[in-house]
Amino acid sequence: MPRGQSSGCLAVPGSGVQPRRRGGGGRNVQDMHHFEEELTCSICYSIFEDPRVLPCSHTFCRNCLEGVIQLSSNFSIWRPLRVPLKCPNCRTIVEIPAAGTESLPINFALKAIIEKYQQGDHSDVATCSEHYRQPLNVYCLLDRKLVCGHCLTIGKHNGHPIDDLQSAYIKEKETSGKLLEQLTDKHWTDVCLLIEKLKEQKSQCESIVQDDKKVVIQYFKKLSDALEHKKQALLTALDEINTHILEEYEPLIEKLKKIREEQLELMSLNTSIQKEESPLIFLEKVDDMHQRIKALKQKQLPDVKPVEIYPRIGHLLKDVWSKTEIGQINKVLTPKIKLIPKRKLRSKGSGREGRESKELLQANLSCDPTQR
C-alpha cells in the first residue's frame, strides 16, 4: 500500500485516506500510531505542514510538492501555463497551475485535525528526541532504529533506506530465530568457557592470598612472641637489679635513720635538762648526756661511693638491638645488669662513645649461660 494510504482511524477529506472501522473501546496506543500515519505526509514522513490537495485528491505538504516539481522540471510533456506532475501516491499525471503550489486548495479539514491533534496530550506516543513533537513512524534499515520524517529529510538519516513500521515489524519477527542462533553459537560457548577459566584462576589466586595471610600471621606471631619474651627478660633483669639496689641501700639508710632519731632524742633531752633546777640531778643528767653523745659520734658511718647501673638498657636497645637484623632478634642475649663504681668522665676526643658501644656489645654477650 502506498505511503499515506494506510488504513487510518478516520477519513480525511481530500487526503485519499479510507475510513477504518473502530472498536467500541477507547483509542489505544496502536490506534494512536495509525492515527499519526493518517496525518503524515507520504513524501517527508512528517506531520503535514500546509497540506495542499492535488487534482487527484491526494494531499501533500506544500514544500514537499515544490521539491517534487523541481525534480520533475525536465519532464518532456509541457503545456502552456501548466506544470505537469506525477502524483507520488497514485502516479497519475496532474497539472499544477502556473501560479504554482500556492494556488492549490488547502485541505482545511486535515489542517484543523492536525492542529487539534498537536494541541492534545500524546504522552503515550513516542516522539523524536531531536525534532520537537515529530512521531517516530519510520524504521531506518541502515541504523536499525525508529526515526521521524525530519530525520529522513533534514536529519542525519537523510538518504538511508527505510521501511514502514508494520513491514519492519513483520520482517524482524520472521528473522527473530536467527537472533537466537547468534546467541547460541560457538562465540557464546567460548564466553562460557572463558568465564569458568577466569573463575578458576580467581579461586587459585584467592587461595594463594589466604595461604600468604596465614604465613604472615604465623611469622609475626612468632616474632611477637620472641619480642615479648625479650621484653619480659629485660624487665626481669631490671627487677633483679632493683632488688639488689634495695638490698644494698635499705640497711644503710635504716642505720643512718636510727642515728638521726637518736640525735633528735638527745636534742630534746638537752632542752629538758636545761630546765632542771636541782644541781645534783642536773649534773648527773648532763654527764649521762655527754656519754651518749660521745658514743653516738663514735658510731661508724657507711662509706657511700658513687655507683652507676651498667649496662643501661636504653643504650643497649639503641646501639645493639636497633642494629640487629629482625631475624636475629631471638639470638640477642639479655645482659646481666650490675651496680658498678661510677667511672670518671674522660676528656673530649678520647673515643668514649666508641668504647662504650664495644662495652655494651661485650656486656650483651657476657650474660648467663642459661640464656644462650
State whether residue 215 is helix, strand or coil.
Answer: helix
pLDDT of residue 11: 34
Residues 6 or more apart whose Cβ sits within 8 Å of residue 78: 84
Contacts of 48-52 with C-beta under 8 Å, sequence gap 24+, read 48/107, 48/110, 48/111, 48/114, 50/106, 50/111, 51/15, 51/106, 51/107, 51/110, 51/111, 51/114, 52/101, 52/104, 52/105, 52/106, 52/107
Beta-bridge partner residues of 163: 139
- Residue 69 has what pLDDT? 82
CB contact at 8 A, 334 and 360: no
Copy the grid coordinates of residue 176: 527473530
| 244: amino acid identity, one letter | H
- For the chain, the first-to-last Cα distance in angstroms comes to 106
Q: Which residues pair with 40 in a beta bridge?
A: 47
Neighbours of 6 (CB within 10 A): 18
Q: Name the helix (H) or strand (E) containing 236.
A: helix 186-273
- Alpha carbons 361 and 313: distance in angstroms, whole number: 12
Burial of 327-359, coded b for 16+ CB within 10 Å and e otherwise, reads eeeeebbbbbbeeeeeeeeeeeeeeeeeebbee
Task: Report the alpha-carbon distance of residue 335 to residue 312 in Å, rounded.
Answer: 10
29-125 belongs to CATH 3.30.40.10: yes
Residue 112: per-residue pLDDT: 83
Query: In the chain, how long is the greatest CA-to-CA distance?
Result: 179
DSSP state of 104: S
- Per-residue pLDDT of the chain (372 residues), as tens digits, is 334 333 333 333 334 333 333 333 444 445 555 567 778 888 888 888 899 999 999 999 998 888 888 776 654 444 445 677 888 889 888 888 878 888 899 898 888 888 887 776 555 667 888 887 788 888 888 888 888 878 887 788 888 888 877 788 778 777 766 777 777 778 888 888 999 999 999 999 999 999 999 999 999 999 999 999 999 999 999 999 999 999 999 999 999 999 999 999 999 999 999 999 999 999 999 999 999 999 999 988 988 888 899 999 998 888 888 888 888 888 888 888 998 988 764 444 445 555 655 666 555 544 444 443
Q: Where are the domains of the chain?
A: 29-125, 305-372
Measured between alpha carbons, how far is 13 from 8 in angstroms, rounded to an integer? 13
Residue found by looking up cell 487526503 in the block: 15
> From the centroid of its chain, how far is CA 123?
39
What confidence score (pLDDT) does residue 274 get? 92
Contacts (Cβ under 8 Å, ≥6 apart) of 248: 339
pLDDT value for 354: 54
pLDDT of 4 reads: 38
Q: Is 371 within 8 Å of 334 (Cβ atoms)?
A: yes
And the C-alpha cell for 28? Answer: 489505544
pLDDT at 261: 94
Asked if residue 335 has a cis previous peptide bond (ω within 30° of 0), the answer is no
| pLDDT at residue number 12 | 37
> Per the structure block, which three cell numbers stand in for 257?
635513720
